[in-house]
Amino acid sequence: MELRAYVRACRRRWLWLVLPVLLATGIAAGMGTAGEPAHRSSMVLFASSGNGDPDAGARRLNSYIALLTGPRVAQGVVDRMGPGITPEQVSASLSAQVREGTDLLVISATDPDAARSEQIVTTAATVLVGLARQIGSADNPDAETPAISVLQDAETTEEPGTLGRDAGFAAVLGLLIGLIAVAVREATARTVADEDDLRRLGVGTVGAIAIGGRFGRGDHADRALAEAFRRLRSLLPDLADPHNGPGRGKSLLLTGSGRKEGTTAVTCGLAIAMAETGARVALVDANMRTPGVGRYLALEPSPGLAEVLAGSARMRDVLQKALNGRVTVLPAGEDAPDPGELLASPRLSSTVRTLTDRFDIVLVDAPALHDVADAAVIGQVTDGALLVVRAGRTRAADVRRSMDLLERVGARLAGAVLNALPRKLPTGPVDEVSGVPGFGDKPELADAGSPDWHGDTFVSLPTVGPARGRARVVEAATPPEESPKSDDKSDESDE
């Protein structure tokens, strides 16, 4: 993994870094505050080797250190202090060191209780002096006995706490664990996380729908979300300028690899952004199996695409106005026993052609590519297809399959949109300025949906009825609606 990609992964998964650091620091702090403060009692002994050999004196001092920290002195201390302490505790408490360039031996005992630490070091010094005399006499009775004596009585001090040091070490350790976890996760990830992942798959990314660019964060989520859709609109050059000359409009299919990709949310948000430019926008709900646009825009159930394709209704009779007439909607319809058979009808092509003759932009919300064949069929009659990819959910393999399927049916893939919206959008302050989309906190917009609802992520609209999420995009002021393109040539498929 490249360093730049790894840094982006760390930014995206910052919680993976913060949580181990907080957890490790908390554990270290808890253990540090729970422990009793330690007290150290120290004594200074003077040891004489009994001759002028400095090497012999150094060896003698090292022998005293080994004796002091060994089991014999520990057992002697226990025998004198009683059963309240064990030899293991004494050995762990005692330490000794030689002051450089001298014959002074500093012995210390550490214990939470100040009195006991002083008792341990005093008793250990007494035992050591006795053992030194015994060993010196036994080695060579005729030689001068080495002298060891107490030069300084025990002095007790409280040990400085190690809480800061332990917490710092724990924080570094937690950060290291988090960095390793991010690296392993990125190396084994099978889902698309950002736009770079899409580019590596060979699909041109059109844009990312996120709030503040950070998966639903930001103090003004309403403005950030509206700007994300406007940015998406501007990155579609064939659709961004509806007044680029005479002729038919453009049709764009929006679909995802699987369910819950947020296709309906992106389609409706893009329709609003397109309508802000004054373009005449038609929104087609081609998901006749589990329609979502009508529910999203709070449209009453009515005949729609299914009836038009079946020949039982004319298009002019089923088109509905939404958002105060700024967007025209062709609902999915009420009677679609076999959507696959209806979409295979020649009327599908003429229906799309009629809409592009009457409107500047026709957005088609289609089912998932890998659930049914509906989206692949629709892709053959639209000018382009836009693949909606759910960040952190859509698998890279499914994106490749979708690209291959669209290519095989002859659909022109315009790119992909990374849907990085959270499951529930945050609520920001409502902007009252005309033309600036804003959010509102309307409890009635949060709806669990019916059993056939598949939990799409929604950007809720003003006064549009039940929808997933709590955010809403407020419609912007636009010029008066222009008259449709020549209605007299638009009825070729209305019969």
pLDDT tens, position by position, 246-282: 567 899 999 999 888 888 888 988 998 999 888 999 9
Characterize the bridge pairing of strands 361-365 and 205-209.
Answer: unpaired
Q: Identify the band that residue 470 occupies on the pLDDT scale cut at 50, 70 and 90.
A: very low
Find the mean pLDDT for residues 185-200.
Answer: 77
| Cα–Cα dist 471/449, whole Å | 16
Question: What confidence score (pLDDT) does residue 285 get?
Answer: 94
- What would the two tokens of residue 35 be? 């422990």
Most confident among 213-227, 394-408, 416-430, 480-494 (mean pLDDT): 394-408
How crowded is the C-beta side of 364, counted as CA atoms within 13 Å? 33
DSSP tag of 491: G
The answer to whether residues 134 and 91 belong to one domain is: yes
Ramachandran category for residue 51: left, alpha or beta (phi over 0 → left; psi -120 to 50 → alpha): beta
Whether 380 and 361 map to the same domain: the answer is yes
Q: Say yes or no: 337 and 431 in one domain.
A: yes
Number of domains in the chain: 3
Q: Do 229 and 347 have their domain in common?
A: yes
Is there a single domain that holds both residue 100 and residue 28? no
Same domain, 259 and 283: yes
Domain residues for the domain of 296 are: 192-493
Task: Give me the pLDDT at residue 364, please.
Answer: 95
Strand partners of residue 284: 330, 364
**pLDDT reading at 128 higher than 70:** yes
User: Which pairing describes strands 205-209 and 413-419: parallel, antiparallel, or unpaired?
Assistant: parallel
CATH classification of the domain holding 108 = 3.30.70.1130
- Dist. CA 272–CA 475, nearest whole Å: 7
Q: Is residue 30 domain-shared with residue 48, that is, in the same domain?
A: no
Helix residue spans in 286-346 (DSSP H):
293-296, 305-310, 315-318, 339-343
364 and 308, same structural domain? yes
Q: Which helix (H) or strand (E) holds 459?
A: none
**How sure is the predictor about 49, in pLDDT bands with cuts at 50, 70 and 90?**
low
AA identity, residue 338: D
Q: Is the dihedral of CA 385, 390, 391, 395 positive or negative?
A: negative
pLDDT at 361 over 90: yes
Largest CA distance in the chain: 133
Give the tens place of pLDDT for each residue, 146-167: 577 888 888 888 776 667 778 8
Give me the pLDDT at residue 282, please.
Answer: 95
Same domain flag for 106 and 215: no
Distance between first and last Cα of the chain: 59
For residue 446, is pLDDT > 90? no
Q: What is the pTM of this model?
A: 0.56
What is the structure's pLDDT at 290? 87
Q: In this model, does residue 89 exceed pLDDT 80?
A: yes
Output the average pLDDT for the chain. Answer: 76
> Tokens in use for 74?
């520990």
Q: Summarize the confidence of residues 191-202 as an average pLDDT.
A: 80
Task: Supply the pLDDT for residue 356.
Answer: 93
Query: Domain with 201 in it: what CATH number?
Result: 3.40.50.300
- CA 372/CA 342 separation, integer angstroms: 13
Same structural domain, 313 and 434:
yes
- Same domain for 277 and 392: yes
Choose the weakest-confidence range: 23-37, 132-146, 210-224. 210-224
SS3 31: helix
Same domain, residue pair 416 and 306 = yes
DSSP H helices, 40-113, are 54-68, 71-81, 87-93
| Maximum mean pLDDT: which of 16-20, 33-37, 221-225, 295-299 | 16-20
